[in-house]
Amino acid sequence: MLQTIPILTLLSLITSVVCDDQQSSLYGTWSSKSNQVFTGPDFYDPVEELLKEPSLPGISFSFTEDQHFEEAIYQVKSNPKDPKCPVAVLIYQHGTYDLQDNGTLTLNPIEVDGRQLLSDPCNDNGTSVYSRYNQTEVYKWFSVSVNDYHGVYELQLYQSDGSPMQPLYLAYRPPMMLPTETLNPTKTSSGSKSTGSNQKRSLRSMVKRSLENRHKTNAIKRNDSFVNSKFFKWVSVGLIGAGSVTFLVT
């Protein structure tokens, strides 16, 4: 029995290191359960300034290692009084994020780049409202763990009041994102101030590269994660078996 203690201790340390590594990394593109909403050029076209409606509602966040983020939201709210009048909204934002020592995550969007498309068919006469959008978001803390059922990384964000959001699952690493600099600068905005056809051509080329790179990224799909529950199961069985053999031999 004494021979198995170091083995169990080693297993505990391995598990702890893996979990700590997950919790310290936001890197990648995360998507909600619908698996239809992703950040990047398939959600927002900054050249034509178009928001593209996914097939199902959901949310997606992307984070880089140098503290840039991108956000894509598609929400639909039903109308109990009139099922024919659901309200739908699409939101795009990107910018930088701050991660404090206490785990608080703050998303600081680039003000001039945020966009919102609001559809309220029973009140807007069939014409959706397209507008700029800018909202700093604060999450009290977050956690990253391995989902036992899907066997993939799961990101759980907690809102400023501590209430959990719907979980997000790792979809791409490296992340699938648009360029992180200001996409549609104005004369008073920070960043590049070039205007006219030169700026449009430059932006178009960046978006084109994003679309091309989308097919080159080493995506991590839900059932293909290299860390899953089976990994921990067989590591545990192997270590315990090795400890038992050592005990019997000695």
Stated pTM of the model:
0.72
Pick the more confident residue, 195 or 65: 65
Categorise residue 58: left if φ over 0, alpha if ψ from -120 to 50, beta otherwise.
left
Q: Which residue shows structure tokens 């780049």? A: 113
What is the tens place of the pLDDT at every residue in 38-74?
999 999 999 999 999 999 999 999 999 999 999 999 9
DSSP state of 17: H
DSSP state of 167: -
What is the pLDDT, as a whole number, of residue 51? Answer: 97
E strands, the chain, in order: 28-31, 44-45, 50-51, 58-63, 68-77, 87-99, 105-109, 115-119, 129-132, 137-146, 153-159, 168-172
Report d(CA 120, CA 87) in Å as an integer. Answer: 5
Q: Is 225 helix (H, G, I), strand (E, B) or coil?
A: coil
User: Residue 74's CB: how many other CB atoms inside 10 A?
Assistant: 24
Residue 107 has pLDDT above 60, yes or no: yes
For the chain, which residues make up each domain, given as ranges? 2-249
Name the band, by pLDDT with cuts 50, 70 and 90, for residue 122: confident
Residue 223 has pLDDT above 90, yes or no: no
Name the band, by pLDDT with cuts 50, 70 and 90, for residue 247: low
